[in-house]
Amino acid sequence: MEKIDWANLTFGYMRTDYNVRCYYRDGKWGALELHSEENINIHMAATCLHYGQEAFEGLKAFRGKDGRVRVFRPEANAERLQNTCEGILMAQFPTDMFCEAVKMVIKANERFIPPYGSGASLYLRPLLIGTGPQVGVRPATEYLFVIFVSPVGPYFKGGFSTNKYAVVRDFDRAAPLGTGRFKVGGNYASSLRANKWAHDQGYACEFYLDAKEKKYIDECGAANFFGIKDNTYITPLSTSILPSITNMSLMQLAEDMGMKVERRHVPVEELSTFEEAGACGTAAVISPIAQIDDLDENKSYVISKDGKPGEVCLKLYNKLRGIQNGEEPDTHGWIMFVD
């Protein structure tokens, strides 16, 4: 293998040695299988291709300060995948098998785990798709679970630095009682045009309001939003928002630091009152927000006056990354070791 420049990795796909697969047939899951090929052979009438029976997850493995390999909260990813499967009527993949598959794929691709201190990590992409053929609109009877991995660098080129967002009103990310709370590919397909529009305007990402009234904050592109003010961590509560494992973790860490935590409807006008704000998710952990422009209303919400990340965002980011890298104690049992 060519020598990898760990410090300059992008957040993209790199071919690795193996992936792990498991098939659901005759009403049960089979054994985990290790595969070296990248392609999947599926029926042209598979429900994932026609009716959107597709779910995915994202999590990371880290080489710690002590040399041990850590995975951050895989059980939570397994539970969220099961919730998605319940929502779109797919066979649920058991938590114990999920964690076993995570360990298997990491061990098989150990040479691709970035070294401690490089700023990079091993990204894991679990995927579950309906493979059974159907012409009528109904669930498949066969499914495929896959996990592949890729070493990745920071999601945003600047790493932990502030970004600017643009409110979009001509696009809806997800309906209030639709699939927004599930991690399905259709949610991301529907965001592509809005994301391109934001990039074309010179912004890092689009900023969504609720689809029903366009009054409340929904999500920052594909990430959850949080705001900081008066020693309080505030994040939107909505039936259309994906329950971010990173956001749940940050809420707990905020409480650990003596902050109050509020999950509630957040009016867009409240942006003017936040001392700090950020987008959060597995890929970036925290992307601090400098400014959000509402072009339709001719308003700019400047959150970072000096364009730098705020003190609370930095503290939360360092704490979470410290746990992932083995630099901080894991008091909540979030880490799964791969030895």
Give the tens place of pLDDT for each residue, 273-313. 999 999 999 988 999 999 999 999 999 999 999 999 999 99
Q: What is the tens place of the pLDDT at every residue in 207-254?
A: 999 999 999 999 999 999 999 999 999 999 999 999 999 999 999 999
**pLDDT over threshold 80, residue 5:** yes
Q: State pTM to two decimals.
A: 0.95
Write the CA distances from 271 to 99, 227, 291, 313, integer angstroms.
39, 8, 9, 16
Q: Is 184 exposed, middle or buried (0-12, 13-18, 19+ CB in 10 A)?
A: buried
| Assigned token pair, 120 | 């990079």
CA distance 117 to 26: 46
Instruction: Please answer whether residues 338 and 107 qualify as being in contact, where contact means their C-beta atoms are separated by less than 8 angstroms.
Output: yes
Tell me what pLDDT residue 235 has.
98
Tell me what pLDDT residue 1 has.
58
Q: Is 162 exposed, middle or buried (0-12, 13-18, 19+ CB in 10 A)?
A: buried
Task: Please give the average per-residue pLDDT across 83-110, as a whole number.
Answer: 98
**pLDDT over threshold 70, residue 80:** yes
**pLDDT over threshold 70, residue 103:** yes
Confidence of residue 20 (pLDDT cuts 50, 70, 90): very high
CA nearest neighbour of 131 among 21, 60, 192, 46: 46
Task: Please give the average per-residue pLDDT across 64-78, as a whole number.
Answer: 97
Tell me what pLDDT residue 237 has.
96
**pLDDT over threshold 90, residue 157:** no
Tell me what pLDDT residue 27 has.
97
**pLDDT over threshold 80, residue 16:** yes
SS3 289: strand
**pLDDT over threshold 80, residue 159:** no
**pLDDT over threshold 70, residue 192:** yes
| Assigned token pair, 227 | 């705001």
Instruction: Please answer whether residues 335 and 72 qualify as being in contact, where contact means their C-beta atoms are separated by less than 8 angstroms.
Output: yes
Radius of gyration from C-alpha coordinates of the chain: 20
Task: Please give the average per-residue pLDDT across 150-166, as a whole number.
Answer: 87
| Average pLDDT across the chain, whole number | 96
Residue located via tokens 């979009």: 168
CA distance 284 to 277: 14
